[in-house]
Amino acid sequence: MTFDDLGLSADLLRTVSEQGYSQPTPIQTKAIPLVLDGRDIMAAAQTGTGKTAGFTLPLLQLLSVQRPPNARRPVRALVLTPTRELAAQVGESVEIYGKYLPLRSTIIFGGVGIRPQIDALRKGVDILVATPGRLLDHVSQKTLDLSQVEILVLDEADRMLDMGFIHDIRKVLALLPKKRQNLLFSATFSDDIKRLADGLLNAPILVEAARANTAAESVSQVVHQVDKNRKRELLSFLIGSRNWQQVLVFTRTKHGANRLAQQLEQDGIRASAIHGNKSQSARTRALADFKKGAVRVLVATDIAARGLDIDQLPHVVNYELPNVPEDYVHRIGRTGRAGCEGEAVSLVCVDEIKLLRDIERLLKKEVDKVVIEGFEHDPSIAAEPIINGRQNRGGGASRAGEQGRNGAKSNAGRSRTGGRPGAPRKEGAGRPAVSRQNKPRVRQAQSGSTGN
Ligand code: AMP
């Protein structure tokens, strides 16, 4: 199957070839003809599958062939995304793919001034890419009219629900004409998503790129079990010893992201954090620095990382496992994109074993466990609960029969059992319990905030 077979116009084929895409991805092969046919679709596609072009290309084509008589240029296609970053990226794709077409688009999201958005809307746009909150701000200020929308796209619908946008989505739906084409994209399909789809889609066709809730095949996954208070050390060791140059690292909390980025900097590894408490310009700058290689590690929370499109990202590290198993699929979808190989490494402490099991249940397979020599976990440490994404810090896990480690400096990568430091070993290779001398200093528990 080639792009020529999908029914796209010459102008669009030209941009596709300029982008260097030689073949459509599976989601594009399936979605493009259906969208061109005017059908509603419910697409199970995670980031990295080429889903954006899967809806943008046919959407552009439909709008360009059916020019409305109205010279006012009402918004004819609305793409809703959960995050600013995703809105920016989808908006950029619309611009790129549509560059030979006489269509106008704009992006609106919060965290930046509303005035330029009002000006852009006033001039008239055919395609609007927006996050729900700012979209509704415009509606309430009467700077936006959605009564002429012909095509609605909900991108990463599952994340929008996770972020609590359901009420905003329903408000937006009430502003749209009843007769329209609907395209819903989601990496995962919970009952909530199915309910939303039921009320939204008209005789939809289910399109699956990869089975929902499955990780992309091109991503190799591995778990290193390690004590909580040695995760940072192990991360620095992996980055250094394996010479990883571009690593996206996930934490559960904003506070944890900040702290880890600072600690990595102290280890001499250029790092920055990206999360919802940062201004839009700080987020954009961090991402740009990461993309161009000025920053080696980007530490992100789940919500901030949604929609990050970083081409050929080779390494994703789950510094902490997500509370929601589906987020694991999203996270590792950042690597192994568009046909490239990727590696997803999870650092799992005893508190997270249950989270790991939930993830494996979702994936319907076990993730390989590999012990890094010198970082063996201490089996005598008992699990502690994770509350709202927060854990007692610094290995605060209570240790059966022993209280209060202190004093000794960390010794990254040095084997405590005499083996070659950092050598990977498959779990269960019959290793004796690790000596507990020379444990790193215990840090005080710190408060962290959850989410974004
Ligand atoms: P998406 O899943 O939409 O976030 O796209 C992931 C990445 O794949 C983006 O960097 C796109 O530029 C790229 N991409 C989209 N379609 C193709 C294609 N047919 N061939 C190669 N790369 C593509």
Average pLDDT over residues 307-325: 81
Does the beta carbon of 54 lie inside 6 Å of ligand 1?
Answer: no
Ligand 1 mean position, distance from CA 48 (Å): 6
pLDDT at 336: 64
What number does the ligand 1 atom closest to the CA of 52 have?
Answer: 3
pLDDT surpasses 50 at 438: no
Count other Cβ atoms within 10 Å, centred on residue 59: 27
368: helix, coil or strand? Answer: strand
CA atoms within 13 A on the CB side of 158: 25
Instruction: Sketch out the chain's domains with CATH numbers.
Output: 3-208 (3.40.50.300), 219-386+417-444 (3.40.50.300)
The pLDDT > 90 percentage for the chain reads 54
pLDDT surpasses 80 at 309: no
Q: What is the DSSP string of 240-307?
A: HHTT--SEEEE-SBHHHHHHHHHHHHHTT--EEEE-TTS-HHHHHHHHHHHHTTSSSEEEE-HHHHTT
Provide φ and ψ at 85, rounded to 5°.
-60, -45
Instruction: Measure the CA dihedral 61/24/339/79, to 10°.
Output: 20
Q: By 3-state DSSP, what share of the chain in percent is helix, strand and coil, each rounded to 5?
A: 35, 15, 45
Tokens 């030209």 appear where? 14
409 alpha carbon, distance to own chain's centre: 35
Q: What is the CA radius of gyration of the chain?
A: 24
What does pLDDT average to over the chain? 81
pLDDT at 261: 95
What number does the ligand 1 atom closest to the CA of 93 have?
Answer: 12
pLDDT surpasses 50 at 408: no
What number does the ligand 1 atom closest to the CA of 338 have?
Answer: 8
Q: Which of 309, 329, 340 best tests ligand 1's pocket when mutated (most atoms within 8 Å of CB)?
A: 309
Does the beta carbon of 48 lie inside 6 Å of ligand 1?
Answer: yes
The band of 307, judged by pLDDT with boundaries at 50, 70 and 90, is low
Contact (CB, 8 A) for 59 and 111: no
Does the beta carbon of 311 lie inside 6 Å of ligand 1?
Answer: yes
Does the beta carbon of 338 lie inside 6 Å of ligand 1?
Answer: yes
What number does the ligand 1 atom closest to the CA of 45 have?
Answer: 2
Dist. CA 180–CA 28, nearest whole Å? 21
pLDDT at 313: 76
